[in-house]
Amino acid sequence: SSTRSHLFMKTTISGTLRIALRSFDGEWRWSRKKSVKVPANACKLLFTIESDQYDSCDKSAHYLHAQFFVDAAVVSENRCFFEEPKRLRLPPAHVSVIVKTGHDAACRLSVTADRFVKYLRLEVDGEDVIFGDNYFDLDAGGKKEIQVLSKLGAEELQRRLQLTWLT
């Protein structure tokens, strides 16, 4: 048994693929990098990871994390879980949000977590708020920057912002 990573692109792209076995607590069990080039309108097999590379881990507490980098920026990422969400042993996490004033009625949220957070949801009840992204997974030690359009100022947005996630 194995896990495979493919990439399909409409245009030619070159970059670095990193696949890691991570725990929900933030431990990196291993990480592999590979420079790749995918031609336009093609699907290319980039990685095959044999099951012996992850069979010894607790599958309810680990996941595979794949990131594709172009010029050191993550342009795509995905996570492969070994269990259904209801069977994951997610540790209690501390999530913090810093709200900064941006331009043209926009704010920027900087969201961080000390442990892996599944299905993190951002919302503000009773307000017409547009989030650049309001429902996502966040890796332990990770940071996500999100643009927010709202009539609320940064201080009021910080006060009224509600966060929920799978526990």
- Inform me whether the pLDDT recorded for 157 exceeds 80: yes
The span from the CA of 167 to the CA of 127, in Å, is 26
Contact 120, 136 (CB under 8 A): yes
Band of residue 110 on the pLDDT scale cut at 50, 70, 90: very high
Which residues, including other chains, have CB under 8 Å from residue 55's CB and lie 6 or more apart? none
Band of residue 11 on the pLDDT scale cut at 50, 70, 90: confident
- Inform me whether the pLDDT recorded for 108 exceeds 90: yes
How many residues does the structure list for the chain?
167
Contact 146, 132 (CB under 8 A): yes
- Nearest Cα to Cα of residue 117 among 97, 133, 137: 137
Distances (CA, A) of 119 to 29, 114, 166: 23, 15, 6
Name the helix (H) or strand (E) containing 159. helix 154-160
- Inform me whether the pLDDT recorded for 46 exceeds 70: yes
- Nearest Cα to Cα of residue 161 among 134, 132, 143: 134
The span from the CA of 28 to the CA of 9, in Å, is 29
User: What's the pLDDT at 7?
Assistant: 65
Model confidence pTM above 0.75 = yes
